[in-house]
């Protein structure tokens, strides 16, 4: 079968190559991949993985072979799934607890935006507990995860302040943000939950704005900067607040169930997915360049079929 594999000899760092067919375990289904979407974390992985590695985490397509142990969806089911790697291929083996069946009225392209970004949004917000009536601050709010966080937090009754460039103001308010500020210094607070993906000074300012007993969830560091953290940043004024790190691959089981809940929100018209760019997987260079340049808001989708 064909797959995109890392290649130091290629200008894009990838090449289309013939690779061995996956051999599913008893609890894995074989999925014929029709589309995938790009995640910023994959840019870093492309730079550090050895030649011949197959990237790709977001997967949508059809079940070509059901799991041998009888778990998961039947052959022919339209599905979305999250894998740790090997999704940029014609077929991939997926653990059935990471698969969700697509509702009939949700497209492959729309579903492809959800596995990594959607579950990250959902699970980071869970660290804040019951959000009803609480103040939530979201940094990096114009990105794919931030857009989902705004909508889910508002769905749960939270009052959202989003940090993003002013050109995104109308868009993010339309998703449910009460306020949109250009820098975290303009956010008044205090906030019961802060989702932080920028790092550096942004994280330092987040600590200044977290409520006593509140939570800051760190799930990225797009600035690449370190943040000095000390006791005096929390006391007085932020007693009992905690810093929580998050990575989807250590966030626990039930990923398939979470994807299913997100798909249900999409099908009900309560969660917007933004497909900003759709290209064939043979044109991945175009999508990677756009992602590196942050030239779109939403997700870039690759189609395989």
101-152: pLDDT as tens digits = 999 999 999 999 999 999 999 999 999 999 999 999 999 999 999 999 999 9
Are the CB atoms for 246 and 127 separated by under 8 Å? yes
Per-residue pLDDT for 41 more than 90? Answer: no
User: Side-chain half-sphere of 98: how many Cα atoms within 13 Å?
Assistant: 25
Are the CB atoms for 209 and 152 separated by under 8 Å? no
- For residue 266, what pLDDT is reported? 98
- For residue 11, what pLDDT is reported? 85
- For residue 259, what pLDDT is reported? 98
Mean pLDDT over 52-79 rounds to 98
pLDDT (tens digit per residue) in 195-230: 999 999 999 999 999 999 999 999 999 898 999 998
Per-residue pLDDT for 12 more than 90? Answer: no
Mean pLDDT over 76-85 rounds to 97
pLDDT (tens digit per residue) in 271-291: 999 999 999 999 999 999 998
Q: How far is CA 138 from CA 18, 54, 182, 218, 225, in A?
A: 42, 32, 12, 11, 18
| Cα dihedral 288/289/290/294 (nearest 10) | 100
Give the percent of the chain with pLDDT over 70.
Answer: 100
- For residue 245, what pLDDT is reported? 96
What domains are there in the chain, each with its CATH number? 2-117+252-303 (3.90.180.10), 128-158+184-245 (3.40.50.720)
- For residue 268, what pLDDT is reported? 97
Are the CB atoms for 241 and 226 separated by under 8 Å? no
Q: Which helix (H) or strand (E) holds 242?
A: strand 242-245
Band (43; pLDDT cuts 50, 70, 90): confident
Report the chain's mean pLDDT, rounded to a whole number.
Answer: 95
The residue ranking higher by pLDDT, 150 or 10, is: 150
| Cα dihedral 155/106/57/151 (nearest 10) | -20
């Amino acid at each position: 079968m064909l797959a995109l594999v890392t290649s130091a000899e290629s200008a894009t760092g990838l090449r289309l190559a013939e690779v061995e067919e996956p051999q599913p375990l008893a609890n894995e289904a074989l999925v014929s991949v029709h589309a995938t979407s790009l995640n910023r974390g994959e840019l870093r992985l492309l730079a550090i993985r050895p030649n011949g590695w197959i990237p790709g985490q977001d997967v949508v397509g059809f079940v070509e072979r059901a799991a041998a142990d009888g778990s998961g969806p039947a052959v022919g089911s339209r599905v979305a799934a999250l894998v740790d790697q090997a999704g940029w291929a014609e077929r991939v083996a997926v653990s059935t607890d990471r698969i969700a069946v697509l509702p009939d009225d949700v497209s492959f392209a729309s579903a492809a935006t959800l596995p990594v970004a959607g579950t990250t949004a959902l699970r980071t917000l869970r660290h804040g507990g019951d959000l009803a009536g609480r103040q939530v601050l979201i940094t990096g709010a114009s990105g794919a995860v931030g857009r989902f966080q705004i909508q889910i937090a508002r769905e749960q009754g939270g009052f959202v302040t989003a940090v993003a460039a002013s050109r995104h103001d109308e868009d993010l308010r339309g998703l449910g943000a009460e306020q949109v500020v250009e820098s975290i210094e303009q956010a008044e607070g205090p906030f019961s939950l802060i989702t932080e993906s920028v790092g550096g000074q942004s994280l330092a300012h987040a600590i200044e704005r977290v409520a006593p007993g509140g939570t800051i969830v760190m799930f990225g560091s797009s600035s690449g900067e370190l943040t000095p953290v000390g006791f005096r940043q929390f006391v007085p004024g932020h007693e009992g607040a905690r810093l929580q790190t998050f990575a989807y691959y250590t966030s626990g089981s039930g990923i398939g169930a979470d994807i299913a809940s997100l798909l249900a929100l999409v099908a009900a018209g309560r969660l917007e997915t933004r497909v900003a760019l759709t290209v064939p997987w043979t044109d991945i260079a175009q999508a990677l360049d756009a992602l590196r340049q942050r030239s779109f808001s939403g997700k870039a989708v690759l189609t395989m079929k």
